[in-house]
Amino acid sequence: MKFGGTSVGNLDKINNVANIVENEVKNNKLIVVLSAMAGVTNNMQNYLDQINSDEEIENDLVLTSGESVTIGLLSAILKKRNIKSIPLLGWQIPILTDRNHKKAKILNINKKRIEEFFKNYDVIVLAGFQGVNVDGYITSLGRGGSDTTAVAIASAIKAERCDIYTDVKGVYSADPNIVPEAKKISKMAFEEMLEMSSTGAKVLHTRSVELAMKNNLVLQVLSSSNKTSGTLIVDEKKLIEKEIVSGVSYSKNESKITISGIPDKPGISANIFGLLADKNINVDMIVQNISQDGISANITFTVPSSEINLATSVLENNLDDIKYKSLKTDENVSKISVIGMGMMSQSGVAQKMFKTLANNSINILAISTSEIKISVLIDERYTNVAVKSLHEAYNLREKKWVQLGRFSKIID
Ligand code: ADP
Ligand code: ASP
Ligand code: MG
């Protein structure tokens, strides 16, 4: 079980988590992964920003500190209820990661140690979001990374399922905070969830979905304050019905770079994107075209907003090599995506997306697609209108059912 920041946001909420754990531990031994209290990791990041700290070891130590508090409090509450519980930090298992501070990858989890703890305890309360690298220093897994801790540990012990408790009742057809009429999805494929997370639906950390898919570990997203069933995320083969479009997501965390007037010859893209890859910069959407003079090319692409400064300095430092005429950046863009497994075998899905945006006078700046996703880049100001109108266009909102004798009917 994993509980996110809002689910452990104060003592009342931690007591509520203790109730859920107390109920479950009657039947099973449990690993309970916790986040820091909501807002705490942001506060820690603010402190680090104020002192302009670029010390990787110190930064990850400070960033991951909030989780110590919540695991300590929950375990103490459980012990008062006579439940055999032990709070553990990442290094105590250990959750071994690479040296990539701030976005460390888990390399290995020692299953034997977990089994040893289970000889003496019924509940392990484990700090999410943190690991320890091969040099013995604390690392963090990237913001929202507690989900990944939970999935990694569940995979390591070959758990039957990993339950992610959060502040919404499941995964919805769009962020319920933007589209109140969004529908809770009862079952979806790993691939769909992966596309949703990676295009902005922060309800699950992208890497947690990747890992669950790799290990074929069923995930459930559910509410910690409401006892209704959540969303199951399963292998595609277990889906009876594949929705053409199951969700709409958005991300405001991307920025656009346009470089124009590059001499058009083979190898320019390989050169530019090679330089960016060398600096570990993730490039997402790419549009390349020939400029009006027919001899030079323009390339537009997106990078995470957090990497825009690094990306521009890499390009500026290599001006002599790339030989472009101008470089423009735009941080006020937003990526809107529609996702669905059934899209693979259906035509006209993209056309509907483009038409809906056009009807709302929203201009498309770039497009990218996969088998089960279409993404467009637009002006950030139109994010909400775009998400809401696409949600409506694909008819995703919660349907109302009325009883008609023995049958029921949907009213739109
Ligand atoms: P936690 O602190 O429990 O990890 P997060 O804030 O990381 O919770 O994730 C839950 C939030 O994800 C919700 O409050 C919701 O606003 C947001 N969200 C974005 N897209 C979706 C979606 N498609 N379905 C459900 N929640 C979504
Ligand atoms: N506390 C960390 C964060 O806020 C990890 C998490 O909540 O998943 O990013
Ligand atoms: Mg989260």
Report the SS3 class of residue 370: strand
Contact 292, 325 (CB under 8 A): no
- 117 CB within 6 A, ligand 2: no
Contact 291, 298 (CB under 8 A): yes
Q: For every one of its 412 residues, what pLDDT tens digit does the chain have, with 9 covering 90 and above?
A: 999 999 999 999 999 999 999 999 999 999 999 999 999 999 999 999 999 999 999 999 999 999 999 999 999 999 999 999 999 999 999 999 999 999 899 999 989 999 999 999 999 999 999 999 999 999 999 999 999 999 999 999 999 999 999 999 999 999 999 999 999 999 999 999 999 999 999 999 999 999 999 999 999 999 999 999 999 999 988 888 888 999 999 999 999 999 999 998 889 899 999 999 999 898 999 998 887 777 899 999 999 999 999 999 999 999 999 999 999 999 999 999 999 999 988 889 999 999 999 999 999 999 999 999 999 999 999 999 999 999 999 999 877 656 666 666 555 4
Distance 167 CA to ligand 1 centre (A): 7
Could you give the CA distance from residue 392 to residue 374 in angstroms, rounded to a whole number? Answer: 16
pLDDT computed for residue 294 by the predictor: 77
Q: Residue of the nearest CA to atom 10 in ligand 1? A: 203
Say which ligand is closest to the CA of 202.
Answer: 1
Query: What are the distances in angstroms from CA 1 to CA 33, 127, 150, 223, 392?
Result: 6, 12, 7, 12, 34
Quote the pLDDT of residue 409: 56
Tell me which of 43, 129, 139, 253 to substitute to probe ligand 2's pocket, judged by most ligand atoms within 8 Å of the beta carbon.
129
Q: How far is the CA of 146 from the centre of ligand 2 (A)?
A: 6
What's the pLDDT at 412?
47
* Chain centre distance of CA 306: 16
DSSP 253: -
Residue that has been written with the tokens 């460390």 in this structure: 104
